[in-house]
Amino acid sequence: MRALRTATTGMAAQQLNVEVISNNIANMNTVGFKKQRAEFQDLLYQNIERMGSQSSDAGTVVPTGIQVGAGVKAGSVYRIMQQGSMTLTQNQYDVAIEGKGYFQILMPSGETAYTRAGNFSVDDQGRLVTEDGYLVQPSVTIPQDAIDVSISKTGQIQATQQGQTAPTTVGQLQTATFFNEAGLDAIGDNLFLESGASGAPNVSTPGDVGFGTLLQGYTEASNVDAVGEITALIVAQRAYEMNSKVITTADQMLQTASQIARG
């Protein structure tokens, strides 16, 4: 009974769909998180009667034929890079990107990672770091006696030190863009790595053509829509139930055929 195998692929596909949706919901409050969507493709078809084949000696042709599908498979799980809303934090080291771009982060391995999460802090040496203590690139060091720090829309960092009236420029943030942002390799901790699908990073100053600007004292919220995710979850659940119903129906048909054979 082909329907058993076909419905099994449908249940497996909807299980993956629910897993993707659950990850979105779990990260609703994750800074800079970008939601994902599962995409599916139909499997190969069995040609019982091929369309276009000759059906008689008179030259008549089968117009549509008979094709029976084998089910569904996962095609991809792609990331939706839609801008999240700005969340006011009033932390002077928090920075949100309005528009395209990623902050550059130096990993302990020496690799450069990329993130939209701008909830930064300073370490014991005054260097701008992530929550895990990874250095923001280019490296920025805030003076120990700084009483105020300002970050402009174009990424220029200025610090006002004790005994001084004029601020001093202490660093310049740069951001990176990618031709295919959805191709970035997510490694957790709000970080991405460059991949063969994303293309090489294009690094420049915030506010340049094709680059977003910065907003100090804010972070970018997740772009997960709670109502949309719950709706998608209900649809996936119903699809799973319908595929399980197909298996139950196919089993009953096999049982009826078995009883006829024994009779």
Do 6 and 33 touch, CB atoms closer than 8 A? no
Angle 20-21-23 from CA coordinates, rounded to 5°: 65
**Does 98 have pLDDT greater than 80?**
yes
Q: What is the structure's pLDDT at 239?
A: 96
The pTM of the full predicted model, rounded to 2 decimals, is 0.86
Mean pLDDT of 220-237: 96
Task: Tell me the C-alpha distance between 245 and 7, whole Å.
Answer: 9
Q: Report percent pLDDT > 70 for the chain.
A: 100
Per-residue pLDDT band at 62 (split at 50, 70, 90) = confident
**Does 227 have pLDDT greater than 90?**
yes
Question: What confidence tens digit (pLDDT) does each residue in 155-214 have?
Answer: 999 999 988 889 999 999 999 999 999 999 999 999 999 999 999 999 999 999 999 999
**Does 10 have pLDDT greater than 80?**
yes
Contacts of 238 (CB under 8 A, 6+ apart): none
**Does 149 have pLDDT greater than 90?**
yes
Q: What is the structure's pLDDT at 89?
A: 94
Mean pLDDT of 207-231: 96
Question: What confidence tens digit (pLDDT) does each residue in 34-52 have?
Answer: 999 999 999 988 887 788 7
Q: What is the structure's pLDDT at 174?
A: 97
Task: Tell me the C-alpha distance between 183 and 211, whole Å.
Answer: 18
CA nearest neighbour of 104 among 176, 171, 211, 178: 176
Per-residue pLDDT band at 261 (split at 50, 70, 90) = confident
Judged on CB neighbours under 10 Å (0-12, 13-18, 19+), 238 is exposed
CA nearest neighbour of 219 among 110, 67, 103: 103
